[in-house]
A and B are shown apart, each in its own frame.
Chain A
Amino acid sequence: MTSWPLSRNSIRVAALALTLCAATVLAWHLHVRKIEDTLVRADPDQAVTDPTLVSFAMGRAPPLYRSHCAGCHGSDMRGIHALGTPDLSDAVWLFGLGELPDIENTLDYGIRSGHPKSHNITDMPGLGRIGQLSAAEIQDVVEYVYAFSHADADPEAVRRGRPLFMDKGSCYDCHGQDGTGNVDYGSPDLTGHSGWLYGGDRQTLFQSVYDGRHGICPAWITKLSAAQIRELAIFLYTTARRAPHAPTGAAGVT
């Protein structure tokens, strides 16, 4: 007997179809959850070498990057000088050696984010603001740093700047005597070989030394799931490893 609006058979078919759809969605959800769990539980080396996990992460990370990272680091991942955000498309890292746990740790807790576990040992002090160096001395230090990467630096100012870099300014303490930085402190390479965070011209360098810098990165641990953070970390790790002429080991940008 047909009853309005659907026959009993039609209702059964519809119910069956809905059940199948729900079962498929559930199965897919469980499948994704299972891969997520495997991804999160995997040791770092396994997570970046297992093709299934890498493929899974690389497929899911770009939307995460666009919604959480691109605002500061740019949609092309090249960083933004005005904000002092580093280039994430190269293999140069401010903190750590660019291994997956290093990247993951930075994503979890951020840089000077206010989270007690963030990278917050130090920041670039405003040597002019706190009176450690005078404006004239800072000009000399800037010239000394400028000479790392430029041949047209004023030799007299460079000569005066060296002892300020090594002694009164205490620049060497974080940036090293050779100016190549220190990934434990997140102090960038000043030799210009790794690019510049805020810019490498004299005026920007002067501003960096006089006013100081205090770049921050949020702590994502409270906003993203463990799986999402690992997906982003694998995405950044893989992108950096694919960068042309990727340097290995410690390096930094300023």
Chain B
Amino acid sequence: MSVLSPDPEAVGTAMDFTRVHTRRSLLLLAIGAITGIAIAGYGLFTAKGTRVHGVPPEAIALVNQRPILRSDYITQVQTQYSVRFADTTPVERRKVLDDMIAEEMMVQRGIEVDLPSFDPDVRSMLVAGVELQLFADVLAQKPNDAELQIYYDAHRANYIRDGEMRLRDLVAAVNPQRPLADAQRDAAAAIAALRQGAVLDKVMAQFNLADSRRLMDSGHVDLGDVFDFAARARLDPAVFAAARVLDTGQVSDPVTTADGVHVVVMVKRVAPAQRSFADVSNEVWRDVSEDAKRKVRENNLKYLRSKADIQVAAP
């Protein structure tokens, strides 16, 4: 029997539930539909579609379903008025609660307008906050001397006192007037003279050698002490390699590079030296902590990357 074409025998009053009744079915269907639409409309137009009725016990208020915790509220009241919670007045409590609700609304507004996506201060604070949580365990570690010694032994190269050098980097330039062979001859003669104690300026003039001007300070040739790392960065690699093995007063063998033949005169040399554990234990202590932080940060980023959908345009 079709509902749309019911048996006339079966059609009774609406309250007779023993019989199929088309009008009653349609009526119930309509009531259900209207109720559903009303609930949906209420939720839609009041933006409270998922509202939970009643404030949960641990919260003092709900702001758009976000709880303000009762314990936070009590702490805030006590902190703000510097008295026990029991000794505060209803007005004082209300003020604190209003302030907390206002703050929550502002925070939610910030999220709504997506502040973290464009405000550098918010982004920095978020990063710092996440790192603070990550580093909590690392900061709690206080390695003892035995652990520091192990780290020191494994990273001895990090605790070498950088060397210093005061040098002259001279070059016998190669050009059409002086081919490479002539430059090499001049450099070799200059080296021989310098090793015999000849005066530098005279040798430079005699064999037509000029300063390479790789080590400069305010427009002048740097005649002062230079750390090894600085010399490494500024000198030709082959020249630096020749320089770093020289002692005070020594003159290098000729070093041929693209611009000519170099001669290094080491005026003063303080060689790099391994610093003892006793001297650097505090640095080791700091480095252990920084190293641990770095590892935690890397592992966290690795984990985040494993979860993230990152798409990079071709550079």
**A contact set with B: CB distance below 8 Å:** 36-37, 40-41, 43-45, 99, 101, 104-105, 108, 112-117, 120, 123, 126, 128-131, 211-216, 225-227, 229
Contact = CB atoms under 8 A, between A and B. Distances in A.
B78 interface: yes
B71 A108 contact: yes
B144 to A, nearest CB: 8
Given A37-B57, A114-B134, A101 B78 contact: yes
B258 interface: no
Contacts of B74: 44, 101, 104
Given A40-B58, A104-B71, A105-B75, A214 B282 contact: no
Interface string B67-111: 001111011001000001110000000000000000000000000
Contact of B58 (A120, A211, A226): A226
A247 to B, nearest CB: 18
Nearest to B73: A101
Contacts of A226: 57-58, 69-71
Contacts of A114: 132-137
B140 A214 contact: yes
A108 B76 CA distance: 14
Given A41-B57, A101-B78, A112 B140 contact: yes
B152 interface: no
Nearest to B77: A101
B197 interface: no
Contacts of B86: 43-45
Contact of A126 (B58, B136, B285): B285
Given A128-B282, A131-B282, A214-B140, A45 B85 contact: yes
A107 to B, nearest CB: 9
Q: Size class of B's contact patch?
A: 20 to 34
Given A43-B86, A117-B72, A226-B69, 15 more contacts: A44-B74, A44-B85, A44-B86, A99-B84, A101-B78, A108-B69, A112-B139, A112-B140, A114-B133, A116-B129, A126-B142, A128-B282, A214-B140, A216-B136, A229-B71
Contacts of A215: 140
Decide if the interface of chain B is mainly helix, strand, loop or mixed: helix
A248 to B, nearest CB: 13
B234 interface: no
Contacts of A101: 71, 74-75, 78, 85
10 contacts: A43-B85, A99-B84, A114-B136, A123-B139, A128-B282, A129-B282, A211-B142, A214-B142, A216-B140, A227-B57
Contacts of B129: 116
B282 A213 contact: no
Contacts of B134: 114
Contacts of B141: 214
Nearest to B136: A114
A177 B132 CA distance: 31
B286 interface: yes
Contacts of A116: 129, 132-133
Nearest to B131: A114
Interface string B125-164: 0000100111111011110000000000000000000000
A20 to B, nearest CB: 29
A79 to B, nearest CB: 17
Nearest to A124: B142
A40 B136 CA distance: 29
B159 to A, nearest CB: 15
